[in-house]
Structure 1
Amino acid sequence: MNYGICLLNAIPLRIEPNHRSEMISQVLFGELFKILEKSDGWVRIILDEDNYEGWVSHHQIKLLSETEYIAASKEVNRYCHELVSHVQINEDFIPISLGAKILSNERSNIIFGKTLNFECDTIEGCQSKQEIVKTAYYYLNSPHLWGGKTPFGIDAPGFTQMVYRINGYPLLREAYQQASQGEVLSFIEESEPGDLAFFDDEEGNIIHTGIILRNHNIIHCWGEVRIDKIDHSGIFNVRLNKHTHNLRVIKQIFK
Structure 2
Amino acid sequence: MQYGICNLSIIPVRIEPNDTTEMVSQILFGEHFKVLELRKNWSKIRVAFDNYEGWIDNKQYEQISEETFRTLESSDLTLAAELIDFATDKNNQFSTVCMGSNLPFYNTKNLILNTTKFQYDGTILNSKIPKNSIIDIAYKYLNTPYLWGGKTHFGIDCSGFTQMVYKLCGYKLLRDASQQATQGEVLSFIEESEPGDLAFFDNSEGIITHVGIIMKDNYIIHAHGKVRIDMIDHSGIFNLDLQKHTHKLRVIKKII
Using the size of structure 2 for normalisation, the TM-score is 0.95
Q: What residue is the counterpart of 1:88 in the other structure?
A: 88
Q: Indicate if the aligned counterparts of 2:162 and 2:213 stay in contact, CA closer than 8 A.
A: yes
Amino acid at match of 2:240: V
Higher alpha-carbon deviation: 69-78 or 125-134? 69-78
SS at match of 1:51: coil
Amino acid at match of 1:203: E
Q: Indicate if the aligned counterparts of 2:145 and 2:225 stay in contact, CA closer than 8 A.
A: yes
SS at match of 2:114: helix
Q: Indicate if the aligned counterparts of 1:68 and 1:110 stay in contact, CA closer than 8 A.
A: no
**Count of residue pairs the alignment pairs up:** 253
Using the size of structure 1 for normalisation, the TM-score is 0.95
Higher alpha-carbon deviation: 155-164 or 63-72? 63-72
Q: What residue is the counterpart of 2:218 in the other structure?
A: 216
Where do 5+ consecutive residues of structure 2 fail to align?
A: none
RMSD: 1.5
- Taking every aligned residue pair, what percent have the same amino acid on both sides? 51
2:133 counterpart of 1:111: no
Q: Indicate if the aligned counterparts of 2:111 and 2:119 stay in contact, CA closer than 8 A.
A: no
Deviations 1:126-168 (A, max 9, x none): 2112221111011100000000000110000000011111111
CA deviation after TM superposition for structure 1 residue 40, in Å: 2.1
* In 1: Cα distance, 2:251 partner to 2:174 partner: 17
Q: Indicate if the aligned counterparts of 1:71 and 1:110 stay in contact, CA closer than 8 A.
A: no
Q: What residue is the counterpart of 1:29 in the other structure?
A: 29
CA deviation after TM superposition for structure 1 residue 110, in Å: 8.2
Counterparts in 2 of 1:70 and 1:215: CA distance versus 1, 3 Å? same
CA deviation after TM superposition for structure 1 residue 97, in Å: 1.0
Match among 159, 162, 183 for residue 161 of structure 2: 159
Summarize the alignment of residues 129-168 of structure 1 with structure 2, pairs less than 5 Å apart: 129-168=131-170
Q: What residue is the counterpart of 1:206 in the other structure?
A: 208
Where do 5+ consecutive residues of structure 1 fail to align?
A: none
Q: What residue is the counterpart of 1:170 in the other structure?
A: 172
Counterparts in 2 of 1:21 and 1:184: CA distance versus 1, 3 Å? same
* In 1: Cα distance, 2:70 partner to 2:17 partner: 27
CA deviation after TM superposition for structure 1 residue 227, in Å: 0.3
2:54 counterpart of 1:51: no
* In 2: Cα distance, 1:3 partner to 1:110 partner: 13
Q: What residue is the counterpart of 1:99 in the other structure?
A: 100
Q: Indicate if the aligned counterparts of 2:3 and 2:69 stay in contact, CA closer than 8 A.
A: yes
Q: Indicate if the aligned counterparts of 1:41 and 1:57 stay in contact, CA closer than 8 A.
A: yes
Deviations 1:23-44 (A, max 9, x none): 0000111111000111221111
Q: What residue is the counterpart of 2:74 in the other structure?
A: 74
* In 2: Cα distance, 1:32 partner to 1:90 partner: 22
CA deviation after TM superposition for structure 1 residue 78, in Å: 1.3
